[in-house]
Chains A and B, each alone.
Chain A
């Protein structure tokens, strides 16, 4: 397998960088939370958006979903589906942050496990930026095969 000689590499290369950036973010966020599902459940509860009976389920599922998305993005398998899920997740996070900030709650973000800071408006900007990156990856990513013959 050798590197392909292609005339306009900018968009595919940029999409690759975006894909790997998303993967690193999800991997870091997911692994942190897998180790402490109890703390993450409390962080989810503090958002006051979900009923009690689904909080633990989300706290257990979401970190693994993030890790699986990260692995798919790194390996280039199911990239479109991963990017779509990533976009949905970041939009959901941004919505949850907006609702809580509008209510004046000063709670831990829970974004990267227990080490996360308290929520503020910059987190919404971050999540919306990552949402845009996810959409970009979903549309323009060509997978690893594009770069090799």
Chain B
């Protein structure tokens, strides 16, 4: 095949690709604009979506969480930073910051298969970390997750067992 033939062939491929893309683009934009429920072309908001997904994660009350703890059916996940975790945490809790969930996925899946329920917590009623860690766990296929809102303060003030240091 001569160099001229080859460049002609590439040109014809390129021309066909451009034609297909142009047709698809035209029809996509026109059909979207005439739809009654049209989607804004550049208006996707991941923040709103995450908020919506996080709102679906079930909560657990302190008494329910303590009950599961007594039955040894729960694994507490402390979503705070490592320094706060070392200062004090729910006994036997694991420290998993939202960004670090992927490092623990395999071991947590094994625990989930054994029937454990995961309860994430952080500190303060507005703290987002427990929801973020729970959301990251659900995205990785661990569905038995609940959030204990303001968990650390509630657990500590109730006088339930706590421990200190790394784990």
Contact = CB atoms under 8 A, between A and B. Distances in A.
A81 B14 CA distance: 7
Interface of A is mostly: helix
Contacts of A34: 31
Interface in A14-66: 34, 37-38, 41-42, 45-46, 52-57, 59-61, 63-65
A91 interface: no
Contact of B139 (A46, A52, A56, A85): A46
A42 B39 CA distance: 12
A82 B106 CA distance: 41
Contacts of A107: 139
Contact of B28 (A61, A78, A82, A104): A61
Given A56-B44, A64-B31, A69 B20 contact: yes
Contact of B39 (A37, A52, A82, A103): A37
Contacts of B5: none
A45 B24 contact: no
A60 B139 contact: no
B15 A81 contact: yes
B27 to A, nearest CB: 5
Interface in B1-57: 12-17, 19-21, 23-25, 27-29, 31-32, 39-46, 49
Of the four ranges (under 10, 10 to 19, 20 to 34, 35 or more), the interface on chain A belongs to 35 or more
A37 B31 CA distance: 12
A64 B33 CA distance: 14
Contacts of A60: 28-29, 32, 39, 41
Given A46-B139, A60-B41, A80-B12, A65 B20 contact: yes
B105 interface: yes
Given A37-B32, A57-B42, A80 B102 contact: no
B120 to A, nearest CB: 17
B13 A41 contact: no
A93 B40 CA distance: 24
B10 to A, nearest CB: 10
B159 interface: no
B68 to A, nearest CB: 24
B125 interface: no
Contacts of B39: 37-38, 41, 56, 59-60
Nearest to A69: B20
Interface of A: 34, 37-38, 41-42, 45-46, 52-57, 59-61, 63-65, 67-69, 72, 78, 80-82, 84-85, 103-107, 118
16 contacts: A41-B39, A41-B44, A60-B41, A64-B25, A65-B20, A65-B24, A65-B28, A68-B23, A69-B20, A78-B19, A80-B13, A80-B16, A81-B17, A81-B20, A82-B20, A106-B141
